[in-house]
Structure 1
Amino acid sequence: MYNLIRVEFFKLRKNRSFWTLLFAISVLSLVYPMLYYFDHRSSGEPQFTGAQFLLTFISSNAYVIKFGVAVLAGFFISNEYSTGVMKTIASSGNTRGRLFAAKLIVFAVGAMAISLVFPIVSTVEVSLLSGFGQLPEGSSVLFLSRVLGLTLLYTAGYAAIGALFTVIFTDSGKTIGFSMIFFLMIDMALAAVGSKISFFATLYDYSIFKLVGDIGKPSIDSGDLPALLLVPLLTFVVVGMLGILVFRRKEIK
């Protein structure tokens, strides 16, 4: 298993799409705060501090996570089907469960790296321009580590779903397209169905799709914290196991 993970990390380091995503999101993370900086400067409005910017725009990082997972899934995993690499490694003697688990772990790590770019780069830039400022009253001293830690957990949950789609569709274009549509529409779909059927309302309330929006809350009640921690972990494990089951039965051409 260790050697399989090492191989996947090697492929991730050599994957141009991964580095292109990191670069593109880094540029976006630098440009986005600058637009607000010059807009506020020209209008005479008070500038955002680093803490204010993080609190205001951390929810926007959910879109970066969804986009990053969808694109990386297509070019890092699904691309191996079209190039014949997946057929080769599937017949290498390792069990398909171990192969998928290794890919999922490394894919999740790559997605995690992408998910941290926007909150870290933009907050550092704004802090250099206007100072970090003060966190709002009631925020824990561990706010920053909590936000980044939860970001990593929820990205892993999304990565498990993205990896499952790669096994189902096997094609890069289909994987990216369906993943983007799914991640963007699932909130509205579950909310709409939940308004009619209470079970789906509860399902949505305790899904990563809704709870990801709570990552940036200044304070979290102790009663809400277990759900925030367990939901992404369970999503990663359960969807990952489902991906292994599908991959074992998948005919690889």
Structure 2
Amino acid sequence: MTNLIRAEMYKLQRNKTFWVILLTVTGLSALLHYLVLIGWWQMQGTSFDAAGLSELNALSTFTVPLFFNLIVSTLAGFFISIEFSQSGIIKNQVISGNKRSHIFMAKFLIFSLGAIVATILIPLVTAIILLFLTGHGDILDTSNLIYLGRSYGLYIVQFLGYTAIIFILAIITDDSGKTIIISILFTIVMYAVEKLSMPPFIEVIYENSIFYQFTEVFKFTMTNGEIIKSILIGIITIIIITLCGVFIFNRKEIK
């Protein structure tokens, strides 16, 4: 398993699309944060604004599924789909005598790591660096650091559930273009469920999903019950989706 993880890490490091995404996100993040810090771009009503961290308002852009889906799905399309032939059959060298479940988990772990770095770590680190460079570093007191730690800790749990969904889409579609298009459509549907009036049972399902938690985890105050609920939703989603993914991966034909 360790060797599989190392192999996937090597593939990720050699993946040109991954580095293009990193550079693009770094540049975009630096620009957005700078515009907010100099007051050129006014953002109000964000979760960070409510927490007294208005200087970090640009981070809210990277927590919107409609936005970060472009990053995650692009990475999935050009990192996962290339492991399959055009007919959707697993290339023989992908298996190489290893258990399919181990291969699946290794790929999922490294893909998720790459997605977290590009979508979460880079925007957050960029924001913190610019805070200190522009003389706003004093806002990161103990209270605010605890808030950021709690929020992003819970956010990553939900985010792993999302990467698992996109990972499965990449395996099923085995095509980068289809992966990106279908994932965007899926995210739009979730956005519609959030904004439009839906039957009560659909609203209940949505309110107990990772998509609802993407917003909830950034509330300034959360009860212990809400935190536990968020953790459970994220973990259960990850377990269910990964089990489904292993099942699908096991049924893929080898060539």
**TM-score category (smaller protein):** 0.7 to 0.9
* Aligned with 1:81 (options 79, 84, 87): 84
C-alpha contact (below 8 Å) 1:187/1:210 kept by paired residues: no
The offset of 1:203, in angstroms, is 0.9
Change (3 A) 1:57 1:14: same
| Alignment-mate amino acid for residue 116 of structure 1 | L
Q: Distance in 2 between matches of 1:112 and 1:78?
A: 19
Change (3 A) 1:190 1:169: farther
Change (3 A) 1:146 1:167: same
Deviates more, 1:60-69 or 1:113-122: 60-69
Q: Distance in 2 between matches of 1:173 and 1:87?
A: 19
The offset of 1:40, in angstroms, is 4.2
* Aligned with 1:152 (options 129, 153, 156): 156
* Aligned with 1:205 (options 207, 218, 243): 207
1:140-161 CA-to-partner distances (Å, cap 9, x unmatched) read 6511222332232222111101
* Aligned with 1:68 (options 45, 65, 71): 71
TM-score of the pair, normalised by structure 1: 0.84
1:21-73 CA-to-partner distances (Å, cap 9, x unmatched) read 111100001111222344549xxxxxx9x93222x343322245322211111
Q: What is the RMSD of the two structures over their aligned residues, measured on CA atoms?
A: 2.7
Residue 25 of structure 1 pairs with residue 25 of structure 2: yes
Query: Number of residues paired by the alignment?
Result: 242
Identity %: 32
| Alignment-mate amino acid for residue 62 of structure 1 | T
The offset of 1:240, in angstroms, is 0.8
Residue 58 of structure 1 pairs with residue 59 of structure 2: yes
Deviates more, 1:152-161 or 1:195-204: 195-204
Q: Which residue of the partner structure matches residue 44 of structure 1?
A: none
Q: Distance in 2 between matches of 1:232 and 1:213?
A: 13
| Alignment-mate amino acid for residue 4 of structure 1 | L
Question: 2:222 is paired with a residue of what secondary structure?
Answer: coil
Question: 1:216 is paired with a residue of what secondary structure?
Answer: coil
Q: Which residue of the partner structure matches residue 8 of structure 2?
A: 8
Change (3 A) 1:7 1:185: same
The offset of 1:130, in angstroms, is 3.8
Q: Distance in 1 between matches of 2:224 and 2:58?
A: 24
Q: Which residue of the partner structure matches residue 111 of structure 1?
A: 115
TM-score of the pair, normalised by structure 2: 0.84
* Aligned with 2:125 (options 120, 125, 133): 120
Q: Distance in 2 between matches of 1:135 and 1:38?
A: 18
Q: Distance in 2 between matches of 1:123 and 1:216?
A: 17
C-alpha contact (below 8 Å) 1:157/1:233 kept by paired residues: yes
| Alignment-mate amino acid for residue 183 of structure 1 | T
The offset of 1:128, in angstroms, is 2.1
Q: Which residue of the partner structure matches residue 247 of structure 1?
A: 249
1:69-101 CA-to-partner distances (Å, cap 9, x unmatched) read 111110110122148994123442222222111
Residue 167 of structure 1 pairs with residue 168 of structure 2: no
| Alignment-mate amino acid for residue 121 of structure 2 | L
